[in-house]
Amino acid sequence: MARIKPFKAVRPVNDKVHLVASRSYVSYSKEKLREKLDSNPFTFIHIINPDYNEEIKADGGTKGMFSKVKSKYAEFLDRKVFIKDNEDSIYIYTQTTPTNSYTGIIASVSVQEYQDKSIKIHEATIRNREKLFTEYLDAVDFNAEPVLLSYSKNEETAELIKKAKTASPVYDFTTTDSIRHSLWILSTEEDIINFQKSFEKVEALYIADGHHRSASSVNLSKNRNNTNPDANSNWFMAMLAQEDEMEIFGFHRMIRGFDKTETDKIINDINAKFDLSHISGDPFSPKDGEVHMYYFGTGWTKFKLKSLDSNSPKDSIDAEKLSRQILDPIMGITDLKNDKRVKFIPAKNDLNELTNSIDNGNDILFLLAPVTFKELRTVADADEYMPPKSTYIEPKLRSGLTIFDISDE
């Protein structure tokens, strides 16, 4: 059973929502980030970078910086850039890209269910990042971006969402990346109860994106130790979407840092271990269990990964097989997270441009098929972790569209 709880969202006023809601700041290059901050005084990124226009800046990841974030947020509230809803609500959100559309509900979910493993994880978190995010949440007292959660097919919830979307949305705007954003607000007791009852039939929720944010919310709840189960700090904001309302793309590996002699030997060793063949068709869509490899000296080749002698669900993941069969034994890469020779490439990137850059060096690109939601669930259900950067999942949610106040006042 999955529990959801409505909340009073802090959200942008209608005439500024298209200016406020922003992609994650880490998705911008330094140049684009400066351009955004210089040209748009309302972007949520100003809250995350509160001293951008100040001569004296706080060090990142410090209490001084977190205090400035909270002050900048308060400034946006004072300027009436944000309003706070008067009633507890559930929010329906649709993101429409040039190629797809994704819909889910935004509500708060229970820290206790995370601890009880009804909200399941498939990715290991880093303690230092958890600690930093926990300190950040404790200082600023808000969730600005929902954690993305998936669930298996639930026709009752789907029908409720379909009915809700027959009304006019409160927000309906398109951002400069050609993505349309629509938001509906449900505040009646009947609507909220219907959605809550529909989620009681959902056996488990799975974190698709936001493992560190979820873990830090759990840590915050433990630290505050508020015995009221309905206290805001015992919940965190999430967007819950059915699996067919999301999309998993491949997450590729580019290996750098070897000289030509070393790279030629690596290619020869791979060729000796696997049955390589040249690719004549589309090189960018490998099948499950198959790797497409690009190296300037050989062009596009493909080969099949071998099954691992294991009953562990994570060992059926192509990224794990690649590490165990090539990256570790042939290339000496044992720590994917920290080895600077490894660069992770989302399948959404321009791979033609990437291969052109490889032609000027000795890099090797390995393309992998996307993980399926069934594989994600199987790994999470077994309390195991996928290899780092195994999933690139859309939709990518905006910061500042709905904000959850986690203060317990």
Domains and CATH numbers, the chain: 4-247+395-405 (no CATH), 251-390 (3.30.1760)
Task: State mean pLDDT over 297-303.
Answer: 92
Q: What is the pLDDT of residues 82-96, one digit of tens each?
A: 999 999 999 999 999
Is the confidence at residue 409, as pLDDT, over 70? no
The predicted pLDDT at position 356 comes to: 87
Distance CA 53, CA 46 (A): 10
Q: What share of the chain is helix, strand, coil (3-state, %, to 5)?
A: 35, 25, 40
Task: State mean pLDDT over 160-170.
Answer: 97
Report the candidate in 360, 385, 362 with the shortest Cα–Cα distance to residue 375: 385
Rounded to a whole number, what is the distance in angstroms from the first to the last CA of the chain? 29
Bond into 395 cis (ω within 30): yes
Report the candidate in 346, 331, 326, 373 with the shortest Cα–Cα distance to residue 284: 346
Report the candidate in 323, 337, 335, 377 with the shortest Cα–Cα distance to residue 126: 337
Q: What is the pLDDT of residues 191-242, one digit of tens each?
A: 999 999 999 999 999 999 999 999 999 999 999 999 999 999 999 999 999 9
Cβ neighbours of 299 (radius 10 Å): 13
Long-range contacts formed by 266-272: CB under 8 A, 24+ apart: 266/330, 266/331, 266/364, 267/295, 267/297, 267/298, 267/364, 269/330, 270/303, 270/326, 270/330
**Percent of the chain surpassing pLDDT 90:** 88
Tokens representing 323? 């590490």
Strands 342-346 and 251-255: antiparallel
Residue 83 φ then ψ, to 5°: -125, 160
Residue 147 φ then ψ, to 5°: -70, 140
Q: How long, in residues, is the chain? A: 409
Distance CA 248, CA 392 (A): 6
The predicted pLDDT at position 232 comes to: 96
Please report, for residues 263, 283, 287, 371, the alpha-carbon distance to residue 292 in angstroms, rounded to integers and kept in the order given.
17, 7, 9, 15
* 25 Cβ contact list (under 8 Å, min separation 6): 33, 45, 48, 49, 399
Confidence of residue 54 (pLDDT cuts 50, 70, 90): confident
Report the candidate in 68, 268, 96, 78 with the shortest Cα–Cα distance to residue 182: 96
User: Which pTM was predicted?
Assistant: 0.94
